[in-house]
Amino acid sequence: MSVEFCGLRLAHPIINGSGTFDAIAARGAFGAALDTAFPFAAYVSKTITLEPRAGNPPPRLWESPAGLVNSIGLPNKGLAGYLAEDLPQLGGYLCDPLASADGASHRVPVITNVMGSTGEELRALVEACDDPETIAAIELNVSCPNVRTGLDIGADPAQLETVVAGLRESTGKPLIVKLTPNAADVPACAQAAEAGGADAVSLINTLRAMALAPGRAGARPWLGGGTGGLSGPAIRPVALAQVAAVAARVAIPVVGMGGVQSAAHAREMLDVGATLVAVGTESFRDPAAGVRIAAGLL
């Protein structure tokens, strides 16, 4: 069941969604078992920005029917902190042999997810990730407003193509563009990423969402960040439609995600054209969701 993805050989097609699994914190919580029983075939980092970010004020979570609205605000140590402190701890994981067809462990490559609000910021991030051997691929989170236009970089096909094309020569590593679902024409954005030179696209990120504080007079947002993003089973039919539409439109591989909870759900993503499937919110309910889903595909 091993899969080839942008020149990487993965033990199986299940990886994590960025920002939904912290390998270092999980190592602290579950101990050395995680080293040889990593639940995913590749590890995608949280979004890393050039400067450190504390993230949004709490509350950051709201539970909705079969879903979760989050307003985390991309807390991270910044590029330098990530490279110096985190990356050295990420290279040695082996995937859980339960989930690979040959019953053996395989190394878990690291995909570093980055976000910048200007072309220069993005270039600095991508160039810095091009160097370390531990980073196997780079994922661009383009769900970020352009500081000059205020539009999400990833929501406007023309802008997205320019941004990706501007980064293409900064790295020889696979460049995955994580599309925003909050765009008028997502397949057009995928095509633009491909035209700009992306090696793969991933989708869907969270759907823009909001929750009001309960039991109080007047409308007051619950989340400290005001609005947030919806994930989990509630978004799976939307994700399936977007993944199918994108896979039909581009020739590069597609990483499908959004609400996947079981091998049957992952199979649907693969059936509509995804090469890999990422699991996000379901890992919160069960940190072994990735290996359970991968083993179910065997």
Partner 1 sequence: MSAQPAGARPGRRAVRVTANEQLGAYNVLRVDDPQMGELQAGQFAMLAAVERWGGGEDERPFLARAFSVARHHDGESSYLLEDVGPGTRRLCELAAGDELWVLGPLGSGFTAPPQGRRAILVGGGVGIAPLAILQDALSAAGGAVSVLLGFRDEARVPGAGLLRDAELATDDGSAGHHGLVTDLLERELRSDPDAVVYACGPAGMLEGVRAICERDGVPAQLALEAGMACGFGACFGCVVPRRGGGYLRVCVDGPVIDAAELDRVELHAGAPA
Ligand X SMILES: Cc1cc2nc3c(=O)[nH]c(=O)nc-3n(C[C@H](O)[C@H](O)[C@H](O)COP(=O)(O)OP(=O)(O)OC[C@H]3O[C@@H](n4cnc5c(N)ncnc54)[C@H](O)[C@@H]3O)c2cc1C
How far apart, in Å, are the Cα atoms of 52 and each of 49, 74, 77? Answer: 7, 9, 4
Residues 136-195 that bind ligand FMN (CB under 6 A): 141, 178
Residue among 105, 86, 88, 108 nearest 41 (CA): 108
The pair of three-digit structure tokens given for residue 229, joined into one six-digit string: 């993003």
**Residues 44, 17: Cα–Cα separation, whole Å:** 7
Q: Identify the sign of the CA torsion 102, 108, 109, 114.
A: positive
**Among 95, 129, 144, 189, which one carries the catalytic annotation?**
144
Phi, psi angles (nearest 5°) of residue 73: 85, 25
Tokens (6 digits) for 226: 């005001």
Stretch that binds ligand X, among 5-13, 58-66, 182-190, 276-284 (CB under 6 A): 58-66
Question: Which span (154-162, 165-173, 183-191, 230-238) binds ligand FMN, by CB under 6 A?
Answer: 230-238
Angstrom distance (rounded) from CA 155 to CA 141 = 12
Measured CA to CA, the distance from residue 120 to residue 131 in angstroms comes to 17
Nearer to ligand X, 43 or 222 (CB): 222
Per CB under 6 A, the segment of 150-158, 164-172, 228-236, 240-248 that binds ligand FMN is: 228-236
CB of 169 to partner 1, least distance (A): 33
Q: Report the residue number, 192 or 234, with the smaller CB distance to ligand FMN.
A: 234
CB of 256: closest distance to ligand FMN in angstroms?
10
User: Is residue 214 at the binding interface for ligand X, with CB under 6 A as the rule?
Assistant: yes
189 among known catalytic residues: no
Is there a contact between 10 and 17 (Cβ–Cβ < 8 Å)? no
Q: Judged by CB, which is closer to ligand FMN: 32, or 54?
A: 54
Among candidate residues 97, 86, 109, the one with its CA nearest the CA of residue 6? 109
The residue count for binding ligand FMN (CB under 6 A) is 26
Q: Taking the CA atoms of the chain, what radius of gyration do you get in angstroms?
A: 18
**Of residues 56 and 105, the one with the C-beta less far from ligand FMN:** 56
Among 38, 43, 62, 93, binds ligand X (CB under 6 A): 62
> What type of residue sits at position 56?
N
CA triple 267-268-273, angle to 5 deg: 95
Q: Give contact residues for partner 1 (rule: CB under 8 A).
A: 19-22, 24-26, 28-34, 37, 39, 46, 54-55, 57-61, 63-68, 70, 72, 75, 96, 232-233, 281, 283-288, 291-292
Spatial separation of the C-alpha atoms in residues 201 and 116, rounded to whole Å? 17
Of 14, 15, 43, 46, which one interacts with ligand FMN (CB under 6 A)? 46
Question: Contact residues for ligand X (CB under 6 A)?
Answer: 61-63, 214
- The catalytic residues are 144
Question: Contact residues for ligand FMN (CB under 6 A)?
Answer: 17-20, 46-47, 68, 70, 72, 74, 113, 141, 178, 205-206, 231-232, 235, 257-260, 279-282
